[in-house]
Homo-oligomer: A and B are copies of this chain.
């Protein structure tokens, strides 16, 4: 077909790595990504941009220095730029992420969890 929708469930079924966002679409200079989360991520921040998380499946939390945001399926949260945060998920959780092209998943905290930033699926 010439024009085709993007099925997020099918995209997520195409990889198994956690904390490794995959790009599924672009919107101007923004990227739409899906990721599998499980366990605790690293504390980090993005000084240059806000970051949107939409929970697609399961449950997750985003720890902030002064609180925590809980996300279940169909819930979203925008982490403001410059705010330290740590995503975590007790059990595997699937999320949609929206952020500008070129954002690194670990922000200012480069570590073994830093993922390649340009992986499409």
Interface residues of A (CB under 8 A from B): 1-9, 24-28, 30, 32, 49-52, 54, 56, 64, 66-72, 74-78, 81, 96, 98-100
Q: Which residues of B contact A4 (CB under 8 A)?
A: 69
* Interface contact B66-A32, CB-CB below 8 Å: no
Q: Which residues of B contact A72 (CB under 8 A)?
A: 5
* Interface contact A75-B3, CB-CB below 8 Å: no
| Copies of this chain present | 2
Q: Which residues of B contact A100 (CB under 8 A)?
A: 28
Which residue of B is nearest A76, CB measured?
B6
Please name 19 pairs of A and B residues whose Cβ atoms are closer than 8 Å in the assembled complex, sorted by A: A1-B67, A3-B68, A3-B77, A4-B69, A5-B69, A5-B70, A5-B72, A5-B75, A6-B76, A8-B75, A24-B76, A25-B78, A26-B50, A27-B98, A28-B50, A28-B100, A32-B76, A54-B96, A98-B98
